[in-house]
Amino acid sequence: MQLDWMMAVAILLPLISGILVYIIRQYHIRGLIVVLTAIALIINSILFVKQGLPIEYTPEGYNWGLVITVLDYVILLFYIYAGLSLRNWLVLIFALTQIIPLAYWEFGMGAHAEVEPAFFIDHLAVVMTLIISIIGSLICVYAIRYMYDHEHHLHLENSRQSRFLFWLVMFLGAMNGLVFANNIYWLYFFWEVTTLCCFELIAHDLTTEAINNAARALWMNSLGGTAFVLAIIYLYMNHGGAEALSMQNIISGGLGQAVALLPIALLCFTGFTKAAQMPFQSWLLGAMVAPTPVSALLHSSTMVKAGVYLVVRLAPAFAGSYLSIMVALAGAFTFFGASALAISQTNAKRVLAYSTIANLGLIIACAGINTPLSIAAAILLIIFHAISKGLLFMCAGTIDHIIWSRDIEDMEGLAEKAPVVTFITAVGILSMFMPPFGMLLGKWMALEAVYIVPLAAILFVLASAVTIVFWAKWLGRLLQVLPRLGKKWEKLSLSYSVPLWVLVIGIFVVGIGVAPIYQKFVHFAVTNVIAAEEVFAQGWNIVIPGSAAASAAQAVGAYPVWPLFLVLAAALFVPFICLALKPGELRPVYMCGEQVGGTDADEWITAGEQKAKLQLGGYYFQSVLGEAALNPWVNTIAIALLVILFGVSLGRWS
Amino acid sequence: MNQWLLAIIAVVVAPFIGGILAGIDRKISARLQGRWGPPIVQPFYDFFKLLGKSKIAVSRVQLVWLYGYLFFMITSLVLLVLQQDILLLVFMLGFAGICFVLAGFSCKSPYSHFGANRELLQMLSYEPVLLLMALAIYAQNGSFMISEIFKNNTPLIVPLWPIFIALIYVLTIKLRKSPFDISTSHHAHQELVKGIMTEFSGPYYALVLLTEWYEIVLLLGLVSLFWANPLWVGIIIALAAFVLEMFIDNIAARMTAGWMVKVSWAVGLILGVLNLAYLYLKKGVL
């Protein structure tokens, strides 16, 4: 009984709250509903941790299978309608390629997609639902105020906030369903719901650009959906009917025979499209036109994480095959390509988007490497990336609403105007690429695991080096300040500051406590994917035992977590304690004596004896690393890698 | 307890060694240029004189990063002395470098920004080589732990000589020697004011000098790992590499940042990748 309620809260409550929010068009009541839903989701997700996992669950009472089938066709028919009304033939074609095989399979062949259990909730699913429920909910709370400011700035006559929050909140329910589903036909349904939510949210502002980009997201994800449908039909026909639609059967060899690689490759391909892997990165970049909460949600806890979740989940099904190596290479290539492209971007949200694509590539590559160490790295990266990226997008949105620009060059000297947000952004940026924070821990584990796929190892090395450049460049622009740092702390709405601070605290808590958290919880999620005897944690530190890599050495690597955090704390606090500067000790910078005015001035006298404001800019290397220069190359290579990926998976027919 | 003691000794002794090496550097450079040169302990005189200067800074944020630079450099050195994970060491060294870059960015000064941007490109040049070095050491020893290097009787330089050459290359960049003294130079004649160092003064500049001394010791320590058994051979190799850097410094002129990235990626990566490929073939992974 309790389980029924927990499942209902996780999957159906967001839908119900979404509808309530849509009907009630009053700012405060609407906000209250969102906040209450957020709290319910967070508590509910934590309750799952307390359950004896794994849980098998099949809903009873109604014919849920029929409901899902009907809704599935409704969504697909809507895509056809969208394709026709937007006159976007790609949307139409890929809607048809989904609905026709699906209808033929269900009605022409009379397939029954009933699977016991319909839901299978193990540690990996709970890790995902924690991310979705906690970080996703915080973003919804953030969106309450953000959308209010957003519409205020646009001077809209008719508020569309209700509609926005409806899709945003419902997204969380679909994601929860997606990670719990064991029946892959149901998984496909939730997959389509997330695609639909994504489409509606990107198109929200209804500008031409927004609609075009939403349509691109739709057709690319529908292409993935088509691969999903084909995989379902292939599994059903060649591996013994409905039994073959159980995810647990597919990954744990419960079908009595090895599953063919082709449907697995198709499912991985679906994951790639959703995780915006190259050459499909353009839909996620286009999604940037949407209001920032959408980006925060898509990048941290939903949508793209569904893509990597699917690939990680499927990892046992392709372990030891060439497909595994190709998945690793495709992911590693995206990691490198997207990191290089990020250097040339001036728009903060595009930098974040490329960084997301790169990190998803890293996670997928880890799934492809397919050792206990790399799977542990993948799951830790999913967690840390969700926290840091959720935070960074909310920071980008808050900055946007302070300076009304997303351009990194406009953020010059933000530390003066908005010291609090700058501090939070700096923490977010540092947590993405620097030790001792979690993302780097994940990257470190990935690099220690990558040895067995040599080409991926080299791509990892290059990408790690490139990553440093674009983050440091951005952080440098933020921090550039005149001598007298802004003394006034800006005031933020609670709807902004609560999610931001919670995530900052989250970065530190999860970062410092990573070893015990790994030992007590994440380790079991790893064992859901791959048999991992070794626990990589010793007390508060991460240690990789030699046996994990079949190595003669006692330990392969060690990452002392808390000593490094102590160093970080010292580095932050010592300068404040010892050397607080008096205002008189701050001096203007050296400009060959051509300054105008005193310490605060940033004007100088040009050769023409005129006053000019000092302007500094970052390096972007547009001609070498710009999208125009690199895109043809990276897309060609990425497509070639996908072709090889399918080629090697054809090698092992059933 | 033994480990703590070792770490404390390293942190206390390293600046003395680093300072004396810096003094030797100045002396030899002076002789190469036909000058008499300052006494060997001159860097210490400079250091204490700078400490005594009045505190003047252009921005408060800058100080946080300067301390970060010092602290993370010390952390890297401690990781080396305690024979910890070499990959983590490379990442910590990277964090130290980033702190320095951000210190350069933390004020509105054109010269400091030139330097910081260039320092960033320097990092881009050497970081992949250092990471490849860590991977190659793993390929050879089956572990990233430095302690495993000491257990191995074959010196690393034998199977890893191409990476060793690449590391010497990195050393040139890291020690800011010509032709790679791009972000700031020890010689005033080829510099935009003082590059990234322009806005560091007085006690804060002393802090940077101190960090550089730690860095010299750390880098030469990394070089000496290539002949860890017995270690004195490694130390001699490291000192020889240090003297070699001075010669390179005095016979080369500064090149542009773009050239540096291209050349170091080409040289470093070709050497590193070939070396890795050889190790893979030997182990039969490929």
Three-state DSSP state, A419? helix
Q: Which of A146-160, A262-276, B181-195 has the highest mean pLDDT?
A: A262-276
Mean pLDDT across the stretch A176-185? Answer: 92
Q: Do A614 and B94 touch (CB under 8 A)?
A: no
Q: How many residues does chain A have?
A: 654
A390 vs A296: CA distance, rounded Å? 5
A552 touching B, CB under 8 A?
yes
* Tens-digit pLDDT profile for residues A30-82: 889 999 999 999 999 999 888 877 888 888 877 888 888 899 999 999 999 99
In this predicted structure, what is the pLDDT of residue A404?
86
* CA pair distance A283, A275, nearest whole angstrom: 10
Among A218-222, A245-249, A329-333, which stretch is predicted with the lowest mean pLDDT?
A: A245-249
What is the structure's pLDDT at B87?
92
d(CA B157, CA B225): 9
Q: What is the largest CA-CA distance in chain B?
A: 62
Give strand pairing partners of A559: A542
Instruction: Give pLDDT tens digits for A426-476.
Output: 999 999 988 888 899 999 999 988 988 889 999 999 999 999 999 998 888
The DSSP bridge pattern shows strands A555-559 and A595-596 to be unpaired
The order of strands in the sheet holding A541-545 is: A537-538, A541-545, A555-559
Contact A589 B102 (CB under 8 A): no
Under a CB-based contact definition with an 8 Å cutoff, are residues B102 and B89 in contact?
A: no
Query: What whole-number percentage of chain A has pLDDT above 90?
Result: 41
Could you tell me if B91 and A444 are in contact, meaning their C-beta atoms sit under 8 angstroms apart?
yes
Beta bridge partners of A62: none
> Between the CA of residue A634 and those of A322, A341, A637, B209, what are the distances in Å?
22, 10, 5, 43
| Interface-testing mutation among A336, A420, A587, A589, with chain B (most B C-beta atoms within 10 A) | A589
Q: Name chain A contacts of B139, Cβ cutoff 8 Å.
A: 451
Give every residue of chain B whose pLDDT is below 50, as ranges: none
Q: Which residues contact A81 (CB under 8 A, 6 or more apart)?
A: none
The model's pLDDT over A338-387, given as tens digits with 9 standing for 90+, comes to 999 999 988 888 999 999 999 999 999 999 998 888 999 999 999 999 99
Q: Spell out which residues of chain B touch residue A447, defining contact as CB-CB under 8 Å.
A: 87, 131, 134-135
Q: Shortest CB distance from B110 goes to which of A469, A571, A616?
A: A616
Most confident of A148-162, A599-613, B174-188, B197-211: B197-211
Q: Is the separation of the CB atoms in B58 and A483 below 8 Å?
A: yes
Residue A653 pLDDT grade (very low, low, confident, very high; cuts 50, 70, 90): very low
* Long-range Cβ contact pairs of A487-494 (< 8 A, separation 24 or more): A489/A419, A489/A420, A490/A402, A490/A417, A490/A418, A490/A419, A490/A420, A490/A421, A492/A398, A492/A420, A492/A421, A493/A145, A494/A145
Mean pLDDT highest for which of A176-180, A246-250, A587-591? A176-180
Q: A283 to chain B, minimum CA–CA distance in Å?
A: 29
Interface test with A, best of B85, B148, B259, B269 (most A CBs within 10 A): B85
Query: Can you spell out the DSSP letters for B26-39?
Result: HHHHHHHTT-----
pLDDT, position B239: 94
Domain boundaries, chain B: 2-283
DSSP A453-513: SHHHHHHHHHHHHHHHHHHHHHHHHHH---SS---SPPP--HHHHHHHHHHHHHHHHHHHT
Average pLDDT on A285-293 reads: 89
Q: Give the pLDDT score at A654.
A: 36
Give residue A309's pLDDT.
Answer: 94
Structural Rg of chain A based on CA atoms: 25
**Beta carbons of A315 and A367 less than 8 angstroms apart:** yes
Mean pLDDT confidence for A484-491: 66
CB within 8 Å: A472 and B98: yes
pLDDT band at A243 (very low <50, low <70, confident <90, very high): confident
- For range A606-616, the mean pLDDT: 81
Task: Answer yes or no: are the C-beta atoms of A600 and B76 closer than 8 Å.
Answer: no
* Of residues A64, A243, A146, A127, the one with CA closest to residue A499: A146
- The rounded distance, in Å, linking the Cα atoms of A449 and A350 is 29
What confidence category does residue A216 fall into, taking pLDDT thresholds of 50, 70 and 90?
Answer: very high
Q: Find residues 81-140 of chain B whose CB sits inside 8 Å of chain A.
A: 84-85, 87-88, 91-92, 94-95, 98-99, 101-102, 104-113, 116-117, 120-121, 123-124, 127-128, 131-132, 134-135, 138-139
